[in-house]
């Protein structure tokens, strides 16, 4: 039986079938996924721990080592790397490809809990997240201001821009580079401190207890009780200058008597620049399987709305757009497809020398 016979005897059905195939192709074409690399999910978990003020040696011995000892007991770990810096430790765990990432995350959480007894008591609980080391940021934006302090700019970038961008469809997370969280720094003169017979530990303990936000007690009556709560946290440097740190010779010794409190960033050793201007960076990552071009377009379309929610003095610039080369590649593929179709149809036309007959295979 000739396979072409049914199509020759039923030209109308053949034409409708070809139209249906062409229509299905037109509908499916916009739904094709676009990504910079093939989708490969590496079971990788990143664990972070921070202890402000601790040296890299202390972080490596007191924080990283107990965690690594527990992580080494987890089944399926193929690679473990750790980096300890001033006040921070990062540990990356890579598992076998057939290892379920959710089950691995539960094992990591159990290992962190098991290592808790060996970690410093004042260490905040370590955090972990699932990552893909093959992923690169699709968009990097710089946020800066010519009139506002960088700590204020960081607050807008963290609480408004990063939070809103994280909710955009296709965005997995938005991290902040060169973060400048606001903080109050107390500078003490050692000579004045020694003259008052005080130590740095005396000041540290008093400052930590002064700004505690907790209930102050309970007032009881015959029929009901009231919890006394007041927010006595100090947020300005001027408030710390009047804090009483001790009593000497019948008089109060305040912070301003031995030094001064100043407003500044939490970490002096991190920074970022936007066109030679101090700034904070917003680093955008896409979700696995998301169309990278559509994700970046959604973020760019949302920028005017997000900028309207922050002061006009804060400027948001796009520093790096990974989709520029991807868009060029997609355009090249589209041009190649169109040229190929045109050449094939032209060859058929030259071979058949009949326009009506050429339309059918075209």
Burial class of 234 by CB neighbour count within 10 A (0 to 12, 13 to 18, 19+):
middle
pLDDT of 228: 75
pLDDT-based confidence at 38, cuts 50/70/90? Answer: low
Q: What is the model's pLDDT at position 140?
A: 92
Beta bridge pairs of residue 284:
139, 174
Which of 132, 130, 46 minimizes the C-alpha distance to 89? Answer: 46
Q: Which range (22-26, 98-102, 215-219, 302-306) has the least confidence?
A: 215-219
Distance of CA 207 to the CA centre of its chain: 32
Whole-number pLDDT of residue 215: 67
The answer on pLDDT for 141 being more than 90 is yes
Q: Is residue 231 pLDDT above 70, yes or no?
A: no
Q: Is the pLDDT of residue 15 over 90?
A: no
Q: Which long-range contacts (CB under 8 A, 24 or more apart) does 113-116 make?
A: 114/70, 115/66, 115/67, 115/69, 115/70
Q: Is the sign of the CA dihedral 354, 355, 357, 362 positive or negative? A: positive
Residue 269: pLDDT above 90?
Answer: no
Residue 17 pLDDT: 86
Q: Is the pLDDT of residue 42 over 80?
A: no
Query: What is the separation of C-alpha 169 from the centre of its chain, rounded to a whole number of angstroms?
Result: 15
Higher pLDDT, 337 or 130: 337
State the pLDDT at residue 55. 86
**What is the per-residue pLDDT for 40?**
62
> What pLDDT sits at residue 111?
92
Q: What is the mean pLDDT of the chain?
A: 85
| 289: pLDDT strictly greater than 80 | no
> What percent of the chain is modeled with pLDDT above 70?
94
Local structure of residue 362 (DSSP, 8 states) = -
- Rounded average pLDDT over 212-217: 70
pLDDT at 301 > cutoff 90: yes
Cα 15 off chain centre by? 53
What confidence category does residue 214 fall into, taking pLDDT thresholds of 50, 70 and 90? low
pLDDT at 274: 87
pLDDT greater than 70 at residue 347? yes
- The enclosing H or E element of 48 equals strand 44-50
**Mean pLDDT to the nearest integer, 126-145:** 82
Q: Over the stretch 48-106, which tens digit does the pLDDT of each residue have?
A: 888 877 888 989 999 999 999 999 999 888 889 999 988 889 999 988 888 887 888 89
Q: Are 68 and 74 in contact (CB under 8 A)?
A: no
Lowest mean pLDDT among 1-15, 107-121, 192-206: 1-15
> By C-alpha distance, which of 165, 111, 144, 84 is closest to 314?
144
Which pLDDT does position 35 carry in this prediction? 66
Higher-pLDDT residue of 313 and 208 is 313
pTM: 0.66
**297 pLDDT higher than 80:** yes
For the segment 340-358, the average pLDDT, to the nearest whole number, is: 84
């Amino acid at each position: 039986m000739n396979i072409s016979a049914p199509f020759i005897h039923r030209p109308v059905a053949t034409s409708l079938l070809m139209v249906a195939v062409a229509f299905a192709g037109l509908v499916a074409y916009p739904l094709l996924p676009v990504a910079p690399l093939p989708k490969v999910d590496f079971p990788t978990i990143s664990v972070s721990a921070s202890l402000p003020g601790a040296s890299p040696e202390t972080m490596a011995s007191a924080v990283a080592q107990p965690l690594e000892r527990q992580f080494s007991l987890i089944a399926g770990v193929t690679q473990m790397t750790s980096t300890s810096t001033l006040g921070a430790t990062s540990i990356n765990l890579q598992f076998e490809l057939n290892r379920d990432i959710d089950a691995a995350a539960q094992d990591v959480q159990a290992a962190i809990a098991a290592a808790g007894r060996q970690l410093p008591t004042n260490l905040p609980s370590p955090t972990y997240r699932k990552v893909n080391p093959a992923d690169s940021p699709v968009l990097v934006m710089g946020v800066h201001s010519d009139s506002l302090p960088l700590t204020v700019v960081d607050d807008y970038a963290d609480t408004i821009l990063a939070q809103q961008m994280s909710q955009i469809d296709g965005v997995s997370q938005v991290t902040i580079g060169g973060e400048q969280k606001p903080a109050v720094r107390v500078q003490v003169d050692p000579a004045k401190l020694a003259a008052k017979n005080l130590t740095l530990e005396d000041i540290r303990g008093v400052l930590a207890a002064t700004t505690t936000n907790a209930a102050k007690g309970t007032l009881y009556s015959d029929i009901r009780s009231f919890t006394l709560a007041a927010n006595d946290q100090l947020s300005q440097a001027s408030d710390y200058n009047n804090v009483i740190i001790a009593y000497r010779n019948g008089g109060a010794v305040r912070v301003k008597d031995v030094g001064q409190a100043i407003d500044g960033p939490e970490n002096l050793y991190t920074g970022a620049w936007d066109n030679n201007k101090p700034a904070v960076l917003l680093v955008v990552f896409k979700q696995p399987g998301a169309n990278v071009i559509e994700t970046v377009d959604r973020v760019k379309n949302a920028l005017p709305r997000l900028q309207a929610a922050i002061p006009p003095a804060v400027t948001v610039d796009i520093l790096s757009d990974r989709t520029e080369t991807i868009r060029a590649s997609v355009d090249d593929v589209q041009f190649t497809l169109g040229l190929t179709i045109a050449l094939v149809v032209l060859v058929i036309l030259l071979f058949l020398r009949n326009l009506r007959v050429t339309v059918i295979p075209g």
